[in-house]
């Protein structure tokens, strides 16, 4: 765990090490990381925003080719979200419909039910836009497509918001890294910048947590137990 935290805080150095060790295969590794974070509900801990920022920074310095990395990461995010949607479509209803007292069921061991419920609340509040907005929020980014699939969101509608969100996420994060990542202060204090990126991305979750503490009744998901399809999305 300490090695993981160290690599995340110094992700620019970790990426340079991967480039030195694997050469062009580093693009496949980056693709796999983004795909797993967006496509598998059991890997929400993987770096997302900070990884994209670091990719942009290394692209700006010539260590990586940004024109190759950015499209690949965009494709990884779109495909990951799409896979997550279909996984949710298949096993999501089983996760939410099993008996609440069955705390040691297979699905409870495999998935974090609390995170799924949080993502579902986010989805209920924002509808289709949750797919795009959630792309910028850690944990929600991983679980929202799963919940959309479990709730039988219209697939065409999902794809639209999926692509829009992925373009915005990859574009903003890699673009920020490309523009600001090689400023001397940023290069010498990259771990501080990474913490700042993580802190900014967590602001929506903090706001929702505060709102929940102030008005808990307004943040109870009305269909969390059954995930009935939303009329607007199922049409």
pLDDT tens by residue, 33-61:
999 999 988 887 788 888 999 999 898 88
Q: What is the mean pLDDT of residues 103-108?
A: 54
CA–CA separation, 43 and 63 (whole Å): 27
Place 232 in a pLDDT band, splitting at 50, 70 and 90: very low
Distances (CA, A) of 54 to 115, 164, 175, 216: 27, 22, 10, 38
Q: What is the mean pLDDT of residues 171-198?
A: 85
Place 82 in a pLDDT band, splitting at 50, 70 and 90: very high
Least confident range from 62-76, 90-104, 132-146, 151-165: namely: 90-104
Position 228 scores a pLDDT of: 41
Position 81 scores a pLDDT of: 94
Q: Is the pLDDT of residue 83 over 80?
A: yes
Q: Is the pLDDT of residue 229 over 80?
A: no
Position 44 scores a pLDDT of: 78
Quote the percentage of the chain above a pLDDT of 70: 67
User: pTM of this prediction?
Assistant: 0.76
């Amino acid at each position: 765990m300490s090695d993981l935290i160290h690599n995340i805080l110094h992700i620019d150095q970790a990426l340079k090490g991967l480039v030195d060790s694997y050469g062009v295969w580093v693009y496949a590794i980056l693709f796999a990381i983004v795909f797993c974070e967006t496509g598998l509900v059991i890997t929400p801990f993987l770096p997302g925003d900070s990884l994209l920022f670091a990719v942009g920074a290394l692209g700006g310095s010539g260590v990586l080719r940004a024109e190759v990395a950015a499209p690949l990461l965009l494709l990884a995010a779109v495909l990951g979200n799409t896979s997550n949607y279909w996984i949710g479509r298949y096993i999501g209803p089983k996760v939410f419909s099993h008996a609440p007292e069955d705390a040691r069921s297979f699905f409870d061991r495999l998935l974090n039910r609390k995170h799924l419920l949080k993502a579902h609340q986010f989805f209920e509040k924002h509808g289709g836009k949750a797919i795009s907005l959630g792309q910028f929020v850690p944990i929600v980014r991983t679980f929202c497509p799963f919940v959309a699939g479990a709730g039988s969101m219209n697939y065409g509608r999902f794809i639209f918001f999926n692509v829009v969100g992925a373009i915005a996420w990859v574009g903003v994060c890699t673009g920020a890294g490309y523009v600001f990542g090689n400023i001397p202060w940023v290069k010498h204090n990259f771990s501080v910048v990474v913490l700042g990126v993580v802190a900014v991305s967590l602001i929506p979750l903090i706001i929702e947590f505060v709102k929940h503490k102030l008005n808990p009744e307004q943040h109870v998901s009305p269909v969390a137990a059954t995930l009935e399809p939303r009329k607007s999305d199922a049409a």
